Amino acid sequence: MKLFVDSGSLKDIESLAALGIIDGATTNPSLLAKEQKDPREILKEICRLVQGPVSGEVVATKADDMVREGREIAKIDQHMVVKVPFTRDGVRACRTLASEGIKVNVTLIFSATQALLAAKVGAAYVSPFVGRLDDIATDGMHLIEEIVEIFDNYEFPTQVLVASVRHPIHIVQAARLGADVCTCPPAVLDQCFKHPLTDIGLEKFLKDWEKAQTAKV
């Protein structure tokens, strides 16, 4: 399973990319609005840092405008993926952009039928939001299971990109279900590095080693 970072923070993305664990990145208008820099510049810089697919979202709501904006986003860098929301206009825009060879990520997916329709118009990725479903007492991961099964049944090339990830258990569940990608906020990736037994174990190894060196002198 590929791991993407879900952020517009160049500082966070740079430190995670340096570890070699990041395959790509996703952004959305809310994430980019938090940053001070020009969004196009941020996206360009993210592409340079991750050297993999980077989703940048359109803010237009009419299909023709989405297509125009999507083409501009795609020009930012060869790694850019155009994110469009799952609306009727978004589906039409996806079809056009995909037919031009532009990779599209259909976002704000909350049902298997939405994912199926996005796959039918050539989406490279669908982004089901698991955390936001969990927030309303609906099992987000059940949706991932359904979409993975449907795409496997019909061999859709569309990748299932698990979004709205809130904690490391979402990452484990996504991987067990065979999702293609899991996009995670930096804080969730940081949590994956923490385990008290690792810290205690390392401390003991180093202490034992030090003790042995002192005894040998």
Binding site for ligand E4P (CB under 6 A): 6, 26, 28, 107, 127, 129, 131-132, 163-164, 183
CB of 107 to ligand E4P, least distance (A): 6
Compare residues 5 and 93 and give the one whose CB is closer to ligand E4P.
Answer: 5
How many Å apart are CA 46 and CA 97, to the nearest integer? Answer: 22
Compare residues 74 and 216 and give the one whose CB is closer to ligand E4P.
Answer: 74
Compare residues 9 and 164 and give the one whose CB is closer to ligand E4P.
Answer: 164
In three-state form (DSSP H/G/I as H, E/B as E, the rest C), the secondary structure along 123-138 is CCEEEEEHHHHHHCCC
Assess contact for 106 and 84: CB atoms under 8 A.
yes
Compare residues 96 and 164 and give the one whose CB is closer to ligand E4P.
Answer: 164
How many Å apart are CA 145 and CA 164, to the nearest integer? Answer: 16
Active site residues: 83
- Tokens 């791991």 map to which residue? 3
Assess contact for 110 and 133: CB atoms under 8 A.
yes
CB of 60 to ligand E4P, least distance (A): 18
At 184, the amino acid letter reads C
How many Å apart are CA 81 and CA 171, to the nearest integer? Answer: 22
CB of 190 to ligand E4P, least distance (A): 15
CB of 55 to ligand E4P, least distance (A): 6
